[in-house]
Amino acid sequence: MNKENKFIGKFVNEMYAILLGIGISNIIFVQQIDLKDFSQSIMALFVISVALVYWWDWSEYVESDVRTTKREFIIDFLILLNIEMLFAYFYDLKGLAVAFIVLGFLDLAWVINNQYEAKKAGTFQKNRAKTWILEKCIVIAIYTFSWLLISFTFVSNYHLLQMICVIFSFILVRNVGFNNVKDSREFSFHKASYQDIQDIVDINNSYFDGGVHTGGFLMKKIIPNDVRKAIDFQERVYFVAKDSKGQTVGYIELNSAFPVEVLGDLEGLSQEEQESILSNQYYIEQVAIKEDQQRKGIGSYLYNQVLQTFPDRNFTAFVVSQPIRNDSSIRFHRKVGFKDAALFKKDQYAGMSPYESILFIKTSEQQSEESTLAS
């Protein structure tokens, strides 16, 4: 755990243990649960399970990624206090339903604060943030609907149906509103070292096992010595993204030498543009994400970090458009500010015929303009 996370992590972990003990004691000694009463026993086990699930999520997925701020402290404390209220209302099902609604709003507040901190740290992913916030709004809607059923329909006359509503609403919430919890880890960005070589090779070469070529990616197999040479001689530079547990989840390969053999076949790029852009550029040769980590914004994160690391560089990248059109990559490059600069056409290239790819360029001037607008 990072130093900046240590206080919050220790505090919340200890508080979960304390509230679990207090909550169970409250049920047994204060509310004097009748263990022979089946419904009371079920609801007691249910609220204990809810507390344990939240504790598990915290220690397994969230703890190492939070930052010690007053907002984080206050929200975490309120969540803990509200979970304690579940124990107080364990058999008052209308009160329990209200407590879950409040818990839904506190979860939403936690997500908004988490994404605010991610934005400050440069790891913000807009689409993921929208999805996560939408999930939490759906959570609140589910809990509210459960409370309405319990309070204003025929369900209010049947204790067993009330129990089913409350329990089922939480089960539904776990399947709808917590999909992003496991993905809440922030990534870290590192220049590749010798320790990362095998991870890079494994991630890259895994693309060939599943026929990724058919999806429009133009990649090449690599061996450990390829990456080692790049690290030693610096003409090509590898950067890796790691999750909070230090596992490599993706990499990006930059080449300071643009592939000059394609210059003669570029359509739409003047000689002057070639000289001005290619004199101070990094050619993005490859980007690869670990299979089970795809569609989590890691590619965007790698691009953003590279652009921030080298604000004075021009960046170039080719994306295949014929005979296989990689539409997702084309949309992605345009979205992050790359401009269509030229077409590269060949009757045969990289085993494809006819071959065509789009040259995307993002200049240092574009980056400077974006930084000015953002500020």
| pTM confidence score | 0.58
> Is 39:160 a contact under the CB 8 Å cutoff?
yes
Query: Using 50, 70 and 90 to split pLDDT, how confident is the model at 375?
Result: very low
Segment among 183-192, 203-212, 294-303 with least mean pLDDT: 203-212
H/E element, 288: strand 281-289
pLDDT at position 335 is: 82
Reference 165, options 244, 71, 94; nearest CA is 94
The residue with greater pLDDT, 328 or 22, is 22
Is the pLDDT confidence value at 25 over 70? yes
pLDDT tens for residues 52-75? 999 988 887 777 667 778 899 999
Burial class of 311 by CB neighbour count within 10 A (0 to 12, 13 to 18, 19+): exposed
Reference 307, options 344, 271, 336; nearest CA is 336
Structure-block tokens of residue 21: 């003990």
Is the pLDDT confidence value at 183 over 60? no
Name the β-bridge partners of 358: 319, 343
Residues of the chain with CATH 3.40.630.30: 188-374
Considering the four listed CATH numbers 3.40.50.620, 3.10.310.10, 3.40.50.150, 3.40.630.30, the one that applies to the domain covering 188-374 is 3.40.630.30
pLDDT at position 215 is: 40
pLDDT at position 294 is: 78
pLDDT at position 212 is: 40
pLDDT at position 154 is: 94
> Is 286:254 a contact under the CB 8 Å cutoff?
no
> Is 222:175 a contact under the CB 8 Å cutoff?
no
Query: Average per-residue pLDDT in the chain?
Result: 85
State the Cα torsion 158-159-160-164 to the nearest 10°. 100
pLDDT tens for residues 71-105? 999 999 999 999 999 999 999 999 999 999 999 99
